[in-house]
């Protein structure tokens, strides 16, 4: 990143921004191949995208075939685009000996083996008598030679594609789980178990329901891929720019305008993007240079963008891939997860927004002048049609239809908004095809009358888009980009299926959960004396055990999250942490959200914080210092999980029920806590704040998070000196002026 130091970041070109995204987004950097091979891979990617798009609307084939086709595409594209070892020259075009179109023959062989192993399960599901292969139900737990060969091949190659796209950390963790399954007798104490026979292990990893062909690959292949594709198409057809323009209109003129634009636009953008790095680069290209011009330090400008963009993983309705998997784990509708995530995401953005505002006040930074802001009328007269796909997607999603049907509708309306124009009758074929689909679904009982009318009207309105039409070539490029974005999460989902298989086979999740709660209980018992005076106690042993367990699990999430994608981290940790949290009486949705949030916090926690590094590259700032700024700005996301574990009412849909008064009071208390923490971070509220008062504000903020009247009264007592000193300081400053 040193080559960007001191550079005028306001002049970063689209190519330079793309290079930054390639450097820090695991799915963006790909190998250069020859033109002929590139054309072949383009056809593969487009076929892959169209297959998923059509099956989402017209129906899925059997799981073993569908996941097999999904894995096959991953193997072809990952082995073509991602080199064996990432070096400076590995991504350059090399058409020397032992290469096919720039791809080494070794990768071509591995590609073919991966496709064969992926499709073998569907081929042999009902048995192949002339090869002596029985029906799958008779082979479960007793694999034959073909099963063992293709099973072992698939396990090794799945780990390899995860390593190529995501680095060594995730495969290393998975290998530890595999060793635990195979060498159980060698582990000490409570972790010891009889071990799993090798052929049993391969069978359980390979066949559906658990292992590689389990729930994670199913969710990614049937839901996540489609939402990633929708996000890319919606962004490229103009919805992303519409978000940025409206954020500028809403917040640009106020104190610290560009920084607030960054927060608001990232919140908007998070509704369609599941990638923190893509969010950072897309919105940061505009907001970071504007913040620097206004006077924000480079590391702070980058930190603002990284912290706000990381919130995209927890911002409804897309929320990255993990939320879809959470819905499967909890066996609840995806809309339940979306509703539960509303307030915690709001709390995160309140924290970032407050820090930005107070920092602007402290540095006396003004907003943008009106002539520098986009005009509301111009923005909406030009871009209104780009909202139609998002509205259509949300309408279908919240009406009880499957997530992949809602994604199909969103993608279809995005295509219409981008390519169909009433003034160009030939292009109306896209709208006509979608309307015919809606009518067909209605006649077959798939859509009710009201939904059918809404979607037909939406398609008709989208054809009135005044923007320039997107060509077929440009839309094909967008589809290809969407596929490339989905490769890394696809590889991760297949690989972490092994972890789920090991946990289900060995019960290690309950073992570790018991160890965590026991260690917390012992430590809580030791500390209880510090909070008890005779028969009176400030905190009970149970309270201390719960808090210490949550801290242990939060630290594990953050430490393990160094370099592991949010989705993979969530799957691994929830399988281990869920039993521990369940033993403590925490509602399932709160415990799953707790793990997801701390997994996302890892994205802005140094030393490995890819979003902050991408923002630092745009800002030309020190990467580590930018990471520190991003972490402090994201304190709302750090404390929010603690709040909704203690007060599940904040999630709206928790099994503990919803009470409006309890929610209002608890939400206000949490917001007060986040504001107090933000004040401590900046060292400014109404006037500059000394170290002692910053410590008091921080401590009061933490106490505010605890949802009880007693805790709030204690917090008010702690923060009272801070408030009084700030009022007096502010009054003295005013009188001096």
CA 81 vs CA 78, 413, 518: distances in Å = 5, 30, 47
Tokens (6 digits) for 370:
């009106």
DSSP code of 683?
T
Q: Cα-flanking dihedrals φ and ψ of residue 699, to 5°?
A: -65, -40
For residue 2, is pLDDT > 80? no
Over pLDDT 70: what percentage of the chain? 90
Please state which of the ranges 180-194, 637-651, 687-701 shows the lowest mean pLDDT.
637-651
**What's the whole-number mean pLDDT along residues 341-368?**
82
Sequential DSSP letters for 321-360: THHHHHHHHHTS-HHHHHHHTHHHHHHHHHHHHHHHHHHH
**What's the whole-number mean pLDDT along residues 203-211?**
79
Q: Cα-flanking dihedrals φ and ψ of residue 468, to 5°?
A: -60, 140
Range of 33-37, 295-299, 303-307 with top mean pLDDT: 33-37
Range of 141-145, 197-201, 408-412, 445-449 with top mean pLDDT: 408-412
Nearest to 395 by CA among 405, 386, 382, 406: 406
Q: Quick one: pLDDT at residue 240?
A: 75
Which pLDDT band holds residue 724 (cuts at 50, 70, 90)?
very high
Please state which of the ranges 88-92, 287-291, 458-462 shows the lowest mean pLDDT.
88-92
Distance between CA 626 and CA 623 in Å, rounded? 5
Whether the CB-CB separation of 4 and 617 falls below 8 Å is answered with yes
For residue 76, is pLDDT > 70? yes
Whether the CB-CB separation of 201 and 182 falls below 8 Å is answered with yes
For residue 411, is pLDDT > 60? yes
For 459-469, how does the pLDDT look when each residue is reduced to its tens digit (9 = 90+)? 999 999 888 89
Cα 658–Cα 662–Cα 664 angle in degrees, nearest 5:
105
Distance between CA 77 and CA 108 in Å, rounded? 10
133 by DSSP, 3-state: which?
Answer: strand
Distance between CA 320 and CA 309 in Å, rounded? 12
Over pLDDT 90: what percentage of the chain? 18
Nearest to 698 by CA among 719, 682, 680, 683: 680
Q: Enter the pTM of the model.
A: 0.83
For residue 65, is pLDDT > 70? yes
Residue 477 burial by Cβ neighbours in a 10 Å radius (0-12, 13-18, 19+): middle
Handedness of CA 537, 538, 543, 548 (dihedral sign): negative
437 by DSSP, 3-state: which?
Answer: helix
**Which stretch of DSSP H or E encloses residue 489?**
helix 472-506
Distance between CA 699 and CA 260 in Å, rounded? 26
Tokens (6 digits) for 288:
């970071």
pLDDT: is 250 or 727 the higher one?
A: 727
Q: Quick one: pLDDT at residue 14?
A: 60
Contacts of 149 (CB under 8 A, 6+ apart): none
For residue 613, is pLDDT > 50? yes
For residue 449, is pLDDT > 80? yes
**What's the whole-number mean pLDDT along residues 356-368?**
78
Whether the CB-CB separation of 486 and 222 falls below 8 Å is answered with no
Q: Quick one: pLDDT at residue 84?
A: 84
pLDDT: is 86 or 396 the higher one?
A: 396
Distance between CA 205 and CA 498 in Å, rounded? 6
**What's the whole-number mean pLDDT along residues 587-592?**
86
Going from N- to C-terminal start, the domains of the chain cover: 661-737
**What's the whole-number mean pLDDT along residues 334-356?**
84
**Which stretch of DSSP H or E encloses residue 79?**
helix 63-81
Distance between CA 242 and CA 235 in Å, rounded? 9
Which pLDDT band holds residue 143 (cuts at 50, 70, 90)?
confident
128 by DSSP, 3-state: which?
Answer: strand
Q: Quick one: pLDDT at residue 274?
A: 58
For 472-528, how does the pLDDT look when each residue is reduced to its tens digit (9 = 90+)? 999 999 999 889 888 888 888 898 889 888 887 887 777 877 788 888 888 888 887
Distance between CA 405 and CA 397 in Å, rounded? 8
Nearest to 431 by CA among 448, 452, 456, 407: 456
**What's the whole-number mean pLDDT along residues 571-590?**
79
Which pLDDT band holds residue 656 (cuts at 50, 70, 90)?
low
**What's the whole-number mean pLDDT along residues 645-653?**
82
Q: Quick one: pLDDT at residue 87?
A: 73
For residue 8, is pLDDT > 60? no
Distance between CA 356 and CA 362 in Å, rounded? 10
**What's the whole-number mean pLDDT along residues 89-95?**
72
Q: Quick one: pLDDT at residue 156?
A: 95
pLDDT: is 475 or 362 the higher one?
A: 475
Q: Quick one: pLDDT at residue 10?
A: 47
Range of 50-64, 239-253, 279-293, 602-616 with top mean pLDDT: 50-64
Residue 103's beta-bridge partner residues? Answer: 100
Handedness of CA 467, 468, 471, 473 (dihedral sign): negative
Which pLDDT band holds residue 320 (cuts at 50, 70, 90)?
low
Which residue's entry shows tokens 């104490």? Answer: 189
**What's the whole-number mean pLDDT along residues 187-214?**
84
Which residue's entry shows tokens 């415990």? Answer: 591
For residue 29, is pLDDT > 90? no
Distance between CA 419 and CA 389 in Å, rounded? 13
**What's the whole-number mean pLDDT along residues 671-688?**
87
Q: Quick one: pLDDT at residue 560?
A: 67
For residue 736, is pLDDT > 70? no
Q: What rounded mean pLDDT belongs to the chain?
A: 82
Q: Cα-flanking dihedrals φ and ψ of residue 525, to 5°?
A: -65, -40
Distance between CA 333 and CA 223 in Å, rounded? 13
Distance between CA 666 and CA 678 in Å, rounded? 18
Nearest to 626 by CA among 288, 358, 290: 288
Tokens (6 digits) for 375:
């005009």
pLDDT: is 306 or 420 the higher one?
A: 420
Range of 40-54, 129-143, 634-648 with top mean pLDDT: 40-54
Range of 293-297, 358-362, 578-582 with top mean pLDDT: 358-362
Residue 35 burial by Cβ neighbours in a 10 Å radius (0-12, 13-18, 19+): exposed
Q: Quick one: pLDDT at residue 663?
A: 85
Q: Cα-flanking dihedrals φ and ψ of residue 599, to 5°?
A: -65, -40
**Which stretch of DSSP H or E encloses residue 99?**
strand 99-100
Tokens (6 digits) for 178:
């595999």
For residue 9, is pLDDT > 50? no
Distance between CA 618 and CA 315 in Å, rounded? 24
Q: Quick one: pLDDT at residue 568?
A: 74
- Pairing mode of beta strands 103-104, 99-100: antiparallel
For residue 28, is pLDDT > 70? no
């Amino acid at each position: 990143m040193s080559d960007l130091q001191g550079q005028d970041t306001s002049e970063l070109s689209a190519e330079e921004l793309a290079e930054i995204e390639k450097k820090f987004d695991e799915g963006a950097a790909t190998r250069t191949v020859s033109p002929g091979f590139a054309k072949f891979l383009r056809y593969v990617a487009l076929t892959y995208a169209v297959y998923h798009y059509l099956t989402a609307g017209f129906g899925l084939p059997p799981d073993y075939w569908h996941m097999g086709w999904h894995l096959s595409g991953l193997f072809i594209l990952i082995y073509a685009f991602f080199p064996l070892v990432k070096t400076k020259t590995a991504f350059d075009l090399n058409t020397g000996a032992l290469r096919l179109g720039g791809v080494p023959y070794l990768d071509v062989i591995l590609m073919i083996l991966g496709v064969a192993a992926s499709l073998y399960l569907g081929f042999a599901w009902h048995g192949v008598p002339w090869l002596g292969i029985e029906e799958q139900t008779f082979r479960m737990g007793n694999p034959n030679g073909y099963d063992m060969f293709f099973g072992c091949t698939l396990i090794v190659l799945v780990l390899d594609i995860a390593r190529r796209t995501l680095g060594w950390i995730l495969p290393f963790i998975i290998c530890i789980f595999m060793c635990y399954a195979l060498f159980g007798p060698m582990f000490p104490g409570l972790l010891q178990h009889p071990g799993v026979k090798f052929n049993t292990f391969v069978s359980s990893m390979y066949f559906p329901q658990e292992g590689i062909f389990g729930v994670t690959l199913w969710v990614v292949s049937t839901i996540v891929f489609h939402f990633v594709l929708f996000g890319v198409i919606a962004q490229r057809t103009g919805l992303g720019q519409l978000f940025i323009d409206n954020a500028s209109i809403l917040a640009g003129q106020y104190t610290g305008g560009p920084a607030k634009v960054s927060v608001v636009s990232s919140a908007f953008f998070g509704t369609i993007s599941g990638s923190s790095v893509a969010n950072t680069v897309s919105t940061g290209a505009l907001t970071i240079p504007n913040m620097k011009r206004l006077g924000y330090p480079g590391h702070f400008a980058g930190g603002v963008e990284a912290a706000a963009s990381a919130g995209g993983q927890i911002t409804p309705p897309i929320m990255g891939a993990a939320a879809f998997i959470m819905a499967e784990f909890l066996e609840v509708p995806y809309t339940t997860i979306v509703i539960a995530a509303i307030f915690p995401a709001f709390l995160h953005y309140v924290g970032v927004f407050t820090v930005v505002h107070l920092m602007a006040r402290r540095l006396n930074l003004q907003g943008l002048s009106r002539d520098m802001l986009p005009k509301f009328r111009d923005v909406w007269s030009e871009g209104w049609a780009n909202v139609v796909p998002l509205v259509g997607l949300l309408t279908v999603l919240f009406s009880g239809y499957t997530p992949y049907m809602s994604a199909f509708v969103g993608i279809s309306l995005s295509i219409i908004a981008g390519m169909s124009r009433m003034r160009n009758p030939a292009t109306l074929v896209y709208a006509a095809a979608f309307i015919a689909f809606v009518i067909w679904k209605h006649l077959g009982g798939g859509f009710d009358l009201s939904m059918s009318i809404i979607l037909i009207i939406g398609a008709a309105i989208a054809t009135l888009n005044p923007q320039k039409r997107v060509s077929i070539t440009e839309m094909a490029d967008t589809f290809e980009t969407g596929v490339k974005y989905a490769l890394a999460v696809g590889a991760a989902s297949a690989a972490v299926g092994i972890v789920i298989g090991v946990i289900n086979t060995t019960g290690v999740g309950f073992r570790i959960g018991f160890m965590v709660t026991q260690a917390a209980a012992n430590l809580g018992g030791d500390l209880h004396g510090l909070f008890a005076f005779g028969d009176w106690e400030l905190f009970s042993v149970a309270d201390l055990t719960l808090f210490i367990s949550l801290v242990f699990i939060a630290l594990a999430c953050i430490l393990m999250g160094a370099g592991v994608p949010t989705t993979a981290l969530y799957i691994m940790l929830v399988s281990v942490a869920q039993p521990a949290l369940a033993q403590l009486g925490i509602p399932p949705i709160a415990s799953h959200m707790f793990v997801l949030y701390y997994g996302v916090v890892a994205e802005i926690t140094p030393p490995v914080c890819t979003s902050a590094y991408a923002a630092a590259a745009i800002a030309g700032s020190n990467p580590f210092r930018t990471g520190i700024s991003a972490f402090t700005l994201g304190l709302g996301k750090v404390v929010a999980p603690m709040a909704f574990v203690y007060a599940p009412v904040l999630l709206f849909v928790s099994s503990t029920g919803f009470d409006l008064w309890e929610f209002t009071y608890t939400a206000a208390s949490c917001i007060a806590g986040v504001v107090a923490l933000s004040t401590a971070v900046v060292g400014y509220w109404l006037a500059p704040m000394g170290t002692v008062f910053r410590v008091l504000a921080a401590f009061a903020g933490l106490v505010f998070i605890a949802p009880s009247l007693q805790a709030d009264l204690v917090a008010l007592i702690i923060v009272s000196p801070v408030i009084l000193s700030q009022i007096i300081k502010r009054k003295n400053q005013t009188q001096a002026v």
